[in-house]
Amino acid sequence: LEKATLQQIKEQNRNLVFKIIRERLNTSRAEVARISHLTRTTVSDIVSGLICEGLVSEVGTGLSIGGKSPILLSLNADARHLIGLDLAYTRFSGAIVNLRGQIREMVSRPLYSYDSDNGLQVAYEIIDHLMQVSNRPLVGIGIGTPGLVSTKDGIVINAVNMEWRNFPLGKLLQDRYQLPVYVLNDCQASAIGEYTYGDNYPAVRNMIVIRVGHGIGAGIIMDGQIFQGDGGYAGEIGHVVRVQENGLPCRCGNAGCLETVASSGAVLQRARQLVRCGHTLWGSEPGEVTFETLEKAFQAGDPLLRPIILEAAHYMGMAIANLVGALNINKVILTGSMTGFGKPWLDVILETANRNMLPRLTQEISIEVGRLKDNEAILGATALLANNYSFLFK
């Protein structure tokens, strides 16, 4: 064997051992050897290396099944930290995340202007702050951004809200911070986050995660991997699924897109129209109508707002039926600000989706709200880095 190949095999074995330890709360050398089909000696050597790197610790002894009690091994989740950013429409958030997806520090900044320079400055501010407070070796920076993204070269092809066109975000950050940077679409990041750190892993292999916020997009997990499509834009359902003939104009240039009827931007626009026509949203003071006012008014049972929200849910349900019908993926997770409308919103989605699907499909499908409390895109953006083990080792 050539030297390079031997080195590759060594790295593969090391990654396999590390993966087995990482996926379990704790384990023993014997169990790792059994699962990995590597020899006890090889596993012991690799584990010694991982302990020296600080990535793994011995954490006591387990139950004996005859013979000596095994020494338990566990991942040192805080041996390395990652920085994750979610560049959402009106607010950028960033966090320091450890190797188990636990958030150690969180910061967010509102976005007052949408020119490309301001967006970049706010992202810098957040990362500067996180770099300053970080007290562990940093693996890299993961960014979830709206719009079309070429992940392999870190270029934001087109983010309408930020006026970013062919914007080399990855390279700018890499040059400034001297760390590996991953840039990916926020919905794809959300999908990776839910898949990696939600409760479904690893039993489920396929999953659709739909982010329903100011924009709408899906991240599709197939056989445990994010599916990006030929150009990297898979899941752009906010503008691909046309729901209305002669519908409202959309920011993408078309009309009647799903985003014009089912997004938080769409319901905000309709609620503001109500207010302009003299309606006072229940439980709110006169003044600017924000998404928070809508949530409050909806919970208070505002009779004019209710049908607006439920109609948005209806269109979402139709879009999900189409997507599930095309892909035959049974697990659908919803994230994003619209999930704030809770059970009534979700119920209409379920009912509409079921009514528009093949009866055979409705029995198997599960549609639910994500469990990561708006942090799923940040966690997903860092999970991609954390899963590339070559970044973890010196």
CB of 260 to Zn ion, least distance (A): 7
Q: Reduced to 3 DSSP states, what percent helix, strand and coil does the chain have, rounded to the nearest 5? A: 45, 25, 30
- φ/ψ of 144, rounded to 5, equals -105, 120
Query: Which C-beta is closer to Zn ion: that of 256 or that of 344?
Result: 256
Query: Which C-beta is closer to Zn ion: that of 243 or that of 281?
Result: 243
CB of 379 to Zn ion, least distance (A): 28
CB of 150 to Zn ion, least distance (A): 20
354: Cα separation from own chain's centroid: 26
Query: Which C-beta is closer to Zn ion: that of 87 or that of 266?
Result: 266
Contact between 47 and 17 (Cβ < 8 Å): yes
Query: Which C-beta is closer to Zn ion: that of 123 or that of 216?
Result: 216
- C-alpha 58/C-alpha 267 separation (Å) is 53
Strands 138-145 and 181-185: parallel
* Residues contacting residue 75 through CB under 8 Å, at least 6 positions apart: 21, 22, 55, 56, 99, 100
Query: Which C-beta is closer to Zn ion: that of 114 or that of 282?
Result: 114
CB of 241 to Zn ion, least distance (A): 10
CB of 253 to Zn ion, least distance (A): 7
CB of 216 to Zn ion, least distance (A): 9
80: Cα separation from own chain's centroid: 20
CB of 212 to Zn ion, least distance (A): 15
- φ/ψ of 361, rounded to 5, equals -70, -35
Contact between 95 and 154 (Cβ < 8 Å): no
- C-alpha 326/C-alpha 371 separation (Å) is 25
> Tokens in use for 76?
């040192």
Strands 71-75 and 27-28: antiparallel
Query: Which C-beta is closer to Zn ion: that of 14 or that of 239?
Result: 239
Query: Which C-beta is closer to Zn ion: that of 81 or that of 239?
Result: 239
18-50 CB burial, b ≥16 within 10 A, e <16: bebbbebebbbbebbbebbebeeebbebbbebb
CB of 386 to Zn ion, least distance (A): 34
Contact residues: Zn ion, CB under 5 A = 239, 250, 252, 254, 257
Query: Which C-beta is closer to Zn ion: that of 246 or that of 390?
Result: 246
Length of the chain: 394
